[in-house]
Structure 1
Amino acid sequence: MIRLFVRHDLSEGVELELDEGQSRYLAAVMRLSAGDALAVFNGRDGEWLARVARVGKRAVRLDVEAHLRAQATGPDLDLVIALVKRARLEVIVEKAAELGARRVLPVITERTNADHTRVDRLQAIAVEASEQTGRLDVPQVLAPVKLEKLIASWEAGRKLLFCDEAGDAKPVLAAVDGGGPWAILIGPEGGFSPKERDVLRALPYATPASLGPRILRADTAAISALTLWQAAVGDWR
C-alpha cells in the first residue's frame, strides 16, 4: 500500500486536500483514481487508512477512514554529519531515515569543503525514505552550523559517540554504554583537525569510537555507525 506523509491532523472522517506535488504523485505517477486506498501519517496521530475521494486537475482529495497503527517513535538518536558533497549527503540523510535517526544535524568543520546545502531537498529525501520504510515519524533535518557552535549549545544529558579515525579508540560496540539520548558524530572526508579532535576528546559527554582498521568515506561511516549503535542499544535488539 502506498504511504504518504501529510501535515494535516488525522482522525476518522477528516477530508484532506493534498498539495500540488503530492496530488501529481498520486494521480500522474501512481495513477490512483477515486476509490483507491492508501495509508497516511503525520508523525503525531499514527497511521490511517485513507481513500481517494476525488482526482481534480490540480488537487487530489482524500477521505480518512480508519486507524491502522498507533503513533510510535524510534530511539532518541541524532546523526551529526560534517557537510560533504551533495550526492553523498543525500545518501546519508536517506539512510539515516531508514535506520531510525530522529534528527540529522549537518555541521561545518575546519576541513569541510562546503558551507551550505539545500535543507529543503534533504528534508524531502527524509520524508520519502520514511514513507517507504514504514516508520511513523520523519527525521528533522536542521540547517548547518559550525561544529564549535553545536558544542557550545549541546543538549544536556545527550551522549556523543565521536567516530574517530585516529585508530586508538574502542570499537563502537564496546564504546556504546547504555541507552538514553545519543548522537553520532561523523567527520568530513578530510577528517577532523588535531585541534577539533582534542576538543572532542575532552568533552565529558563524548565517547571516542573506532569504525575499524580502514578509513571509511563519510556515507559508509554514517551507515556503519548507525547500524552498530542500533544493534547495541537501539530498537534492533
Structure 2
Amino acid sequence: MPATPAWPPRSAPRLFVPGPLTEGGVVTLDGPQAHYLLRVMRVAEGDAVILCDDLTGEWAGKVTQAGKRDLTLDLVERLRPREQVPDLWLCAALLKKDRFDLVLEKATELGVRRIQPVLMRRCVADKLNLERARAVVTEAAEQCARTALPELAEPVKLDALLRDWPAERTLFFADELGGGPAAAAFAAHLGPAALLVGPEGGFDDAEREAVRAAPQARPITLGPRILRGETAAIAATAVWMGSIGDW
C-alpha cells in the first residue's frame, strides 16, 4: 500500500504575510505575492502554502480559490510557534549595495536578532533603501525557513551608536589591528551581544579609539588576514553562532 504523502509537502512555497494568523482564518493575497504563487510556483486550488506572520509562527494554508491576480487560502494548522532568536545584533558598516545585500541575506540566514547599519568615515555608501533592504531580509527568511524576521534598523552614525549603547550588551569589536581570538572572547562573555564590523577602508584611528573607550567593547580578531567588510560580518556571525548561538 503506497505511503500517504506528507502534508504540507516540504516543497510548499513559504511567504511572510501580515498577521496575526489564527487557525481557521482566511488569507487573501494579491500583488507580487499572488504573482509569485500563481505564475512562478504555479499553485492551484488544493495546494499547500506555508505562511508566517512574524508574530504567531508558521502555518499551513490550503489554496481554496486561485484567480488570475489573487488567491485565497484557508489556514489549516499551526506548524511551529515563532522561534526564539539568539540575542545577537550585527552592527555592520554600510557597504555598496550588492555587498550589503549579501550581509543582509547571510545575517538573516545565520539567525541574528537585529541588523544595525552603521555609518563610518570610510564608508563608500551613505544611504540605505530600507524598503528594498527589508525585502532582501524577508526573502532570505522565507528561503531559510525562519519564523521570525530580524529587526532592521535605520543607519546610524558610529558616534551616536556608541553614545546610546545599552550597558548590558557586550560589543565585540572586529579590529583589524588585533584583539582576543573571537571564539574565546564570545565564550567568555555570555548574554546579550553585538558585533561591530567596519567598512571597506576599515576604522580610522579616531573611530578605533572611540570604540575601545566604550566600557562594553571587547576587541576581537578574526584571524591573520584582513577581511572585506561583508566577509568579516558573515564570518564573525558564524563563529558566534557556532560558539554560543543556536547551532
Q: Please say whether Structure 1 and Structure 2 have the same fold, judged by a TM-score greater than 0.5.
A: yes
Amino acid at match of 1:174: A
> Is the 2:103–2:230 Cα contact (8 Å) retained in structure 1?
yes
Q: Which of the numbers 11, 15, 35 marks the counterpart of 2:22?
A: 11
Amino acid at match of 1:185: L
Amino acid at match of 2:46: G
The alignment status of 1:173 with 2:183, answered yes or no, reads yes
Equivalent residue, structure 1, for 2:96:
85
Equivalent residue, structure 1, for 2:225:
214
Q: How big is the alpha-carbon RMSD for the aligned residues of Structure 1 and Structure 2?
A: 1.1
List 4+ stretches of structure 1 deviating above 6 A. none
Distance 2:51 2:210 in 1: 44
Structure 1 counterpart SS, 2:19: coil
- How big is each residue's C-alpha offset from its partner over 1:162-201, in whole Å with a ceiling of 9 and x where there is no partner? 000013x111012112332111111001000101101111
- How big is each residue's C-alpha offset from its partner over 1:91-120, in whole Å with a ceiling of 9 and x where there is no partner? 000000000011111111011122101111
- How big is each residue's C-alpha offset from its partner over 1:50-100, in whole Å with a ceiling of 9 and x where there is no partner? 011212233221110111112222201111111111100000000000000
* Percent identical: 46
Amino acid at match of 2:95: V
The alignment status of 1:144 with 2:155, answered yes or no, reads yes
Equivalent residue, structure 1, for 2:82:
71
Distance 1:196 1:72 in 2: 36
Distance 1:109 1:178 in 2: 26
Structure 1 unaligned regions, length at least 5: none
Deviation at 1:203, TM superposition (A): 0.9
Q: Which of the numbers 51, 55, 59 marks the counterpart of 2:62?
A: 51
Deviation at 1:17, TM superposition (A): 1.2
> Is the 1:73–1:136 Cα contact (8 Å) retained in structure 2?
no
The alignment status of 1:29 with 2:25, answered yes or no, reads no
Structure 2 counterpart SS, 1:101: coil
Distance 1:112 1:61 in 2: 45
Equivalent residue, structure 2, for 1:153:
164
The alignment status of 1:204 with 2:215, answered yes or no, reads yes
Equivalent residue, structure 2, for 1:105:
116
> Is the 1:8–1:42 Cα contact (8 Å) retained in structure 2?
yes
Amino acid at match of 1:152: R
Structure 2 counterpart SS, 1:184: strand
Distance 2:147 2:189 in 1: 25
Scaled by the length of structure 2, what TM-score is found?
0.92
Deviation at 1:227, TM superposition (A): 0.7
Amino acid at match of 1:85: K
Distance 1:99 1:224 in 2: 10
Distance 2:68 2:175 in 1: 53
Structure 1 counterpart SS, 2:159: helix
The total of aligned residue pairs comes to 235
Distance 1:147 1:225 in 2: 19
Distance 1:71 1:107 in 2: 28
> Is the 2:89–2:112 Cα contact (8 Å) retained in structure 1?
yes
Structure 2 unaligned regions, length at least 5: 1-11
The alignment status of 1:129 with 2:109, answered yes or no, reads no
> Is the 1:178–1:233 Cα contact (8 Å) retained in structure 2?
no
Distance 1:204 1:178 in 2: 13
Distance 1:106 1:70 in 2: 29
> Is the 2:59–2:75 Cα contact (8 Å) retained in structure 1?
yes
